[in-house]
Amino acid sequence: MIQHSLRPVPETDQTLTKWDIAALWSATVMNIPSFYFATSLVDLGLSWWQAVLSITIGSIILLVPFILNGLPGTQYGISFPIYLRAAFGVKGAQIPAIIRALFACGWNGIETWIGGQAIFLSLPSSLTTSSYAQPINWLGTSMLEFSCFIIFLIVQLALAWKGMHAISVLEKFSSLILFLLTCLLFAWACYEAGGIKAMLISTSSTTSSHSSSSLVHVYLSSLTASISSWSGISLNISDFSRFAKSHSDEILGLLAIPLASILYSFAGVAVTSSTVTIFGHLISNPTQLFKAIGGTFTIVLATFGISLATITTNIPCNLVAPSNVLLSLFPSKFNFINGVILSSLISLVFQPWRILGSSENFVYAWLGGYSPISGSITGILITDYYLIKRMDLDVNSLYCDSDLGHYYYVGGFNLAAFGALIISVMPCVPGFLHKGSMSLFQS
């Protein structure tokens, strides 16, 4: 039950300050899927202010589970798979851990695909217009784009080998660089469109004509998706908070999330809206936008910016969690590195090029698909830790695989927790089957 990477972090290793944490999460917010999500809301029919408001409310709501689920990490130094054992049992914890790992693998695939698109964007036109760039029906994409995807995946694995502390150092520099790149893109769009007012007015021509009831449905779905986009991280936040100097440092650092989300989503919506004025049609995909802008300098800058944004988000958010889960399930066979490798291979199964095929696929099928599950697990963890356990955990029992431990329950499973999970998820299934599956399989 004990693997070195899953042992409680000693106080001497809890070194991340509020500034380190703020840099980590502000850089994490500034990623291409977040940009694409903001622009997708406009594509689905929301005005610019409705899209920004949805993301703002969602990020503020998410602070609650971030803070509440982060306390066990700083208080006991435990990681997410270990934290799960208190609520679901020392054996039952494997099930929600696997679910969370699969979510992370899906996001890893999406982020890696976007990074691969940055490489594809930098290739000469002789390659991007060749037969290698033609889509293959059974694969759903071209062999050239798939190869770029694999190359970027390998680059990430090489960086992940350096570990979390090296990634933390990279975050400190990347957050400033990404902020400057976003400002440059915003300034370009503002100049080309003829001012901020012209950028935002153009959203009226990109939004669909909705009835009141239809608009409410789109907005509530967008708000759910806004929360869902970070709900996975709210689950395994203890993987990061356990390295914080104190819980107050963790809380203050987390305030960077809504602040960065507001600024970044506004920039994304405004830039995308301006494409109607500049190019005559809406371009919601960032890589396609850079391609439309053209120019060697733009392509080089875009490749650098997209790659940096992807790496600084993907490794800490989508490779750490599944790797820790594998360490928890098979402590004698996996370490952090081969856990990351297997997680990356699993991400191929999700075929991220299909998820990013349309705004409907991304918002309704992907984000709307897993949010009921992640939200339910989050609620169970918070209820168990604060209302049932009263913030008092027996750390030794978390590592005890016998009925001598407090968290063995019935054969290692807490049946009450699983009953609550099923009851919470089932009412959401019909809605997903109606909206999400249609978006994914009929697009």
Residue 436 has pLDDT above 70, yes or no: no
- pLDDT (0 to 100) of residue 210: 54
What does the pLDDT average to over 220-238? Answer: 83
Reference 192, options 289, 72, 336, 110; nearest CA is 289
- Write the pLDDT tens digit of every residue in 120-144: 988 888 888 888 889 888 888 999 9
User: Is residue 206 predicted with pLDDT exceeding 50?
Assistant: no
Q: Which of 115, 105, 121, 98 is nearest to 31 (CA)?
A: 115
Residue type, 265: S
What pLDDT score was predicted for residue 150? Answer: 95
Residue 334, phi-psi category: left (phi > 0), alpha (psi -120 to 50), beta (remainder): beta
pLDDT over 90 at 291, yes or no: no
Which residue did the predictor score with more confidence, 359 or 171? 359
CATH of the domain at 408: 1.10.4160.10
Please report which confidence band the pLDDT of residue 168 belongs to, taking 50, 70 and 90 as the band edges. low
Q: Is the pLDDT of residue 214 over 60?
A: yes
> 407 pLDDT exceeds 90?
yes
pLDDT, tens digit, for every residue of 85-128? 999 999 999 999 899 888 889 989 999 998 999 899 888 888 88
Average pLDDT value over all residues in the chain: 84
Tokens 């935002």 label which residue? 200
Nearest alpha-carbon partner for 441 in 172, 433, 204, 280: 433
Q: Are 217 and 48 in contact (CB under 8 A)?
A: no
Q: In the structure, what pLDDT confidence band is assigned to residue 423 with cuts at 50, 70 and 90? A: very high
pLDDT of 175 over the 70 cut: no
Q: What pLDDT is attached to residue 284?
A: 78
Which pLDDT band, with edges at 50, 70 and 90, does 393 fall under? very high
Specify the pLDDT at position 46. 81
Decide: 44 and 64 in contact? Cβ < 8 Å: no
pLDDT value at position 357? 81
**Contact (Cβ atoms closer than 8 angstroms) between residue 57 and residue 226:** yes
Would the pTM of this model clear 0.85, i.e. be above it? no
Q: Are 395 and 8 in contact (CB under 8 A)?
A: yes
Ramachandran area for residue 30 (φ above 0: left; ψ -120 to 50: alpha; else beta): beta
* C-alpha–C-alpha distance, residues 190 and 179, integer Å: 16
H or E element: which one contains 135?
strand 135-136
Residue partners of 197: CB distance under 8 A and separation at least 6: none
Evaluate if residue 248 carries a pLDDT over 50: yes
Query: Is the separation of the CB atoms in 274 and 192 below 8 Å?
Result: yes
Look at the chain and report how many structural domains it folds into: 1
Dist. CA 177–CA 172, nearest whole Å: 9
* Enclosing domain of residue 32: 4-441
Region 162-191: what's the mean pLDDT? 76
What percent of the chain shows pLDDT beyond 70? 89
pLDDT category at 146 given cuts 50, 70, 90 is very high
* Res. 442: pLDDT tops 90: no
* Structure confidence at residue 196 (pLDDT): 85
- With a cut of 60, say whether residue 208 has pLDDT above it: no
Contact 262, 57 (CB under 8 A): no
